[in-house]
Amino acid sequence: MKKIGIVGLPNAGKSSLFNFLTRGNALVESFPFSTVDPNFGVFVIEDERVEVLARNEKSKRVVHPSIDVVDIAGLVRGASKGEGLGNQFLDHIRKVDAIAHVVRFFESATVSHPYQTVDPKRDVEIIDTELILKDIETIQKRLEKQQKIARAGDKDARKEVELLEALLRFLSEGGLARNFPRRDSFEEEVIKSLFLLTDKPEIMIFNVDDLTEGKESVAREIAQKRKSKYVVLNVALETELLELSEEESDAFRAEYGFSGDKRKEFFEKIVEALKLIRFLTATENEARCWLTVEGTTAYEAAGMIHSDIQKGFVKAEVIPFDEYVKHGSLKRAREMGALQTHGKEYVIREGDVIHFLFRA
């Protein structure tokens, strides 16, 4: 399962975001460092397509796609060197697939700010600096090792040393590893193997009270400059709206200048940032929407469902969801000759409804 880690300054609204995504009840407090131990949860995002599938195929159970979420302690200046709650946070974000970077953009007399003023640009820079410093440490360690090997005459090591030095310069100038251009697959592999914090895809969350043209443009400018996806929302408000009906919450949202389902919007940004797709399966037992990376083959997808289905793979019957809906059931679609049959190598597409045939 994919995993995202929530990062930001103390009191930015990280635990509030965690609760909003996971419908959880992590501690949310107006004082900084209210989160000490990380909160772990699951972000389930309802996919209407799987409900339709379950109804048509009379499945007993419905399983929606989900992503693991970890909410960690706030970072402050010097965190990479152990300031604030120290740097144990790093172990938790080292393991995630993407970072949700929460930026405080709301004023409040009761919620203190670690640097007194609301200044999203400065706050983003503080977080960047801490992550970059940690990455520099990681690169330097590797560099020392490779320099020794290079001195012994190893060609690949020499190439790696050059790359690591260039990467160090890039990060020292404030660049994020994910924006460092890779010239070939060698460079790509070396950088990947470092598991750098600033190499992870990022979705920025600008936590505002109300949405104005001015705030939207500040958010856009910050995010675009670093090539990140972003969402602007009022996390506290959205969490409260979870209790209300869709009509009621739409009315409230509009009062603050927002529209649309923010959990969904955030999920779509994750899907884009991590290059994911969704496919659907349905049996009498279970209708399910699966989340996987672009380029997944039918054979790999079979393995996600069950090792027996992969082992005995015969073929995959596939129909795009929109086509499926026209027929109303897999049985009917099959009778109409609307199911395509594919072998192991078929590359799955977003919204495919798949039925696997396998030898037990």
List contacts with ligand GTP (CB under 6 A): 8, 10-16, 28-30, 32-35, 73-74, 106, 108, 111, 207, 209, 234-236
Question: Which residues does 29 contact at the CB level (< 8 Å), separation at least 6?
Answer: none
Per CB under 5 A, the list member of 15, 146, 281, 310 interacting with Mg ion is 15
Smallest gap from residue 258 Cβ to ligand GTP (A) = 11
* Position with the least CB separation from Mg ion: 35
Q: Which does 93 bind (CB under 5 to 8 A by kind): Mg ion, ligand GTP, none?
A: none
Which 22-61 positions form the footprint of Mg ion (CB under 5 A)?
A: 35
Q: Are 230 and 254 in contact (CB under 8 A)?
A: no
Cα angle 92, 97, 98; round to 5 = 90
| Closest among 60, 82, 85 to 72, alpha carbons compared | 85
Q: Are 203 and 231 in contact (CB under 8 A)?
A: yes
For residue 74 the two structure tokens come to 């706030």
Question: Which residues does 207 contact at the CB level (< 8 Å), separation at least 6?
Answer: 12, 13, 16, 17, 102, 103, 104, 105, 106, 233, 234, 235
Q: Which does 228 bind (CB under 5 to 8 A by kind): ligand GTP, Mg ion, none?
A: none
Which 270-309 positions form the footprint of Mg ion (CB under 5 A)?
A: none
> Which CB atom, from 30 or from 341, has the smaller least distance to ligand GTP?
30
> Which CB atom, from 29 or from 248, has the smaller least distance to ligand GTP?
29
Q: Does 16 bind Mg ion (CB under 5 A)?
A: no
**DSSP annotation of 177:** G
Q: Which does 298 bind (CB under 5 to 8 A by kind): ligand GTP, Mg ion, none?
A: none
Q: Does 207 bind Mg ion (CB under 5 A)?
A: no
Q: Which does 16 bind (CB under 5 to 8 A by kind): Mg ion, ligand GTP, none?
A: ligand GTP
Smallest gap from residue 108 Cβ to ligand GTP (A) = 4
Q: Which does 90 bind (CB under 5 to 8 A by kind): ligand GTP, Mg ion, none?
A: none
- Classify each residue of 40-66 as buried b or exposed e, where b means 16 or more C-beta atoms within 10 Å of its C-beta: ebebbbebebbebbbebbebeebbbbb
Euclidean distance between CA atoms 144 and 165, whole angstroms: 11
Residues lying near Mg ion in the complex (CB under 5 A): 14-15, 35
